[in-house]
């Protein structure tokens, strides 16, 4: 079978890369082994325009946020589903210092933060003594329905193989890659941290970051906002169901759900909520984060038949559409990739 591209992985990166290639009428095969707990499947799907304790704008906010919004709406209408919803974040101040930072940022004219006029609106639902603010222009990407619907679309078009990709079976020739019966111009790795297991990208400075989440049923909580007080409570597509998380661990004894997180999150829910809840699930995954907190996008500097779209860290929902499109435009039209995301910045350590 001959195609233009072979894509390994159908998390956020593989989904968006195949979407933009499909829009360009390019042929491709996506291989994914459908692991049950990947970061893309554990993610809340939150697109938050501000980040960190200082609540600064996310990296490249002007370019990536509106691009993401447009892209999720477009793929959603193509697939006949709601892929993204605006859900502003109600930020309940956990302490006086966080309140001060929030109010200072409003005084500085931050376009995303505003004081919430109805301070008592949530009194029957939550305990919050220090008031709340609102983070506007926040969104939820409904990955739990989007990824499976796109996979079904690929399967219907014979563009999807559910199997374990074995890198030892890959042969690279001049201007051609061969994998079992598939011949393609290029292979592009969108396989998250598994890229570290390939000879091409084993030296990239990934910094795996563990995150855990609970899936919680809260029948009395309105689903029109995301709620935050240390942890985030984000409404999922299914009625009454919320995602709660997360933690960010750079060192961890194992990648699985931990009792420590469960106990801490359950305690937090009891202290925060005034209404009944029921914990349904507990999940964990390793984020493909990077030492410099910038993605890895582009063609291998010493092997032009091999590419990568990876390293989205904590911001996959926001960054993946924009950089998938940059990579497609780069391959097809030789346009530039954002230098701080271009994998060619590692050309010295990527010598084969
Ligand atoms: C708890 C948690 C919460 C998060 N919340 C958010 C959030 O709210 N907002 C946000 O923007 N980001 C969030 N993230 C980060 C986000 O999930 C990641 O940035 C993103 O999912 C990474 O996507 P990816 O496609 O690069 O990798 P992955 O999701 O890891 O996808 C890789 C795919 O490759 C496949 N694969 C790997 N190896 C093979 C192989 N050998 N053969 C076949 N298939 C293979 C896997 O099955 C998988 O489907 C969160 C992450 C975690 C862990």
Q: What is the pLDDT of residues 1-37, one digit of tens each?
A: 999 999 999 999 999 999 999 999 999 999 999 999 9
42 lines ligand 1 (CB under 6 A): yes
Res 352 pLDDT > 90: no
Nearest CA-CA partner of 216 in 197, 235, 193, 196 = 235
DSSP 268-337: HHHHHBSS--EEEEEEEEEE--BTTS--EEEEETTEEEEEEEE--GGGHHHHHHHHHHHHHHHHHH-PPP
191 lines ligand 1 (CB under 6 A): yes
Tokens linked to 100: 């001060």
31 lines ligand 1 (CB under 6 A): yes
Nearest CA-CA partner of 106 in 133, 131, 84, 129 = 133
Cα 108 to ligand 1 centre (Å): 35
Query: Which one of 191, 296, 315, 321 would you pick to mutate in the ligand 1 pocket, going by the greatest count of ligand atoms within 8 A of its CB?
Result: 191
Q: What is the pLDDT of residues 286-307, one digit of tens each?
A: 999 999 999 999 999 999 999 9
Nearest CA-CA partner of 71 in 152, 16, 144, 149 = 16
**Mean pLDDT, the chain, whole residue set:** 97
Provide mean pLDDT across the span 162-185. Answer: 97
Asked whether 351 and 201 are in contact (CB, 8 A), the reply is: no
Asked whether 323 and 331 are in contact (CB, 8 A), the reply is: no
- pLDDT score of 296: 98
Cα 199 to ligand 1 centre (Å): 21
45 lines ligand 1 (CB under 6 A): yes
The CA distance from 39 to 201, in Å, is 19
21 lines ligand 1 (CB under 6 A): no
Tokens linked to 37: 């707990």
Asked whether 256 and 211 are in contact (CB, 8 A), the reply is: no
Q: How far is CA 162 from CA 37, 239, 278, in A?
A: 15, 30, 34
Q: What is the pLDDT of residues 126-166, one digit of tens each?
A: 999 999 999 999 999 999 999 999 999 999 999 999 999 99
Atom of ligand 1 at shortest distance to CA of 318?
11
């Amino acid at each position: 079978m001959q195609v233009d591209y072979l894509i390994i992985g159908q998390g956020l990166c593989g989904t968006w890369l195949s979407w933009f290639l499909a829009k360009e009428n390019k042929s491709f095969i996506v291989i994914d082994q459908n692991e049950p707990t990947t970061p893309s499947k554990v993610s809340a799907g939150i697109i938050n325009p501000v980040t960190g304790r200082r609540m600064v704008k996310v990296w490249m906010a002007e370019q990536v946020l509106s691009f993401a919004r447009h892209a999720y709406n477009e793929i959603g209408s193509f697939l006949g589903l709601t892929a993204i919803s605006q859900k502003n974040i109600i930020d309940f101040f956990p302490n006086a210092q966080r309140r001060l930072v929030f109010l200072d940022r409003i005084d500085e004219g931050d376009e995303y933060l505003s004081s919430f006029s109805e301070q008592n609106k949530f009194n029957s639902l939550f305990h919050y003594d220090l008031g709340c603010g609102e983070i506007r222009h926040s969104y939820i990407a409904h990955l739990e329905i989007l990824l499976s619907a796109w996979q079904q679309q690929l399967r219907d078009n014979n563009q999807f193989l559910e199997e374990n990709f074995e890198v030892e079976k890959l042969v690279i020739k001049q201007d051609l890659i061969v994998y079992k019966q598939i011949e393609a111009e290029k292979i592009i790795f969108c396989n998250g941290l598994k890229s570290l297991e390939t000879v091409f990208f084993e030296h990239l400075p990934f910094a795996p970051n563990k995150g855990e989440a609970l899936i919680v049923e809260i029948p009395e909580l309105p689903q029109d906002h995301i709620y935050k007080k240390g942890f985030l409570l984000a409404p999922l597509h299914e009625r009454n169901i919320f995602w709660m998380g997360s933690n960010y661990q750079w060192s961890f004894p194992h990648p699985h759900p931990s009792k420590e997180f469960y106990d801490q999150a359950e305690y937090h829910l009891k202290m925060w909520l005034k209404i009944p809840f029921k914990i349904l699930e507990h999940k964990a995954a390793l984020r493909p984060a990077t030492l410099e907190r910038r993605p890895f996008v582009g063609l291998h500097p010493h092997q032009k038949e091999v590419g990568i779209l990876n390293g989205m860290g904590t911001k996959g929902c926001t960054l993946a559409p924009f950089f998938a499109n940059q990579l497609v435009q780069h391959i097809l039209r030789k346009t530039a990739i954002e230098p701080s995301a271009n994998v060619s910045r590692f050309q010295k350590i990527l010598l084969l």
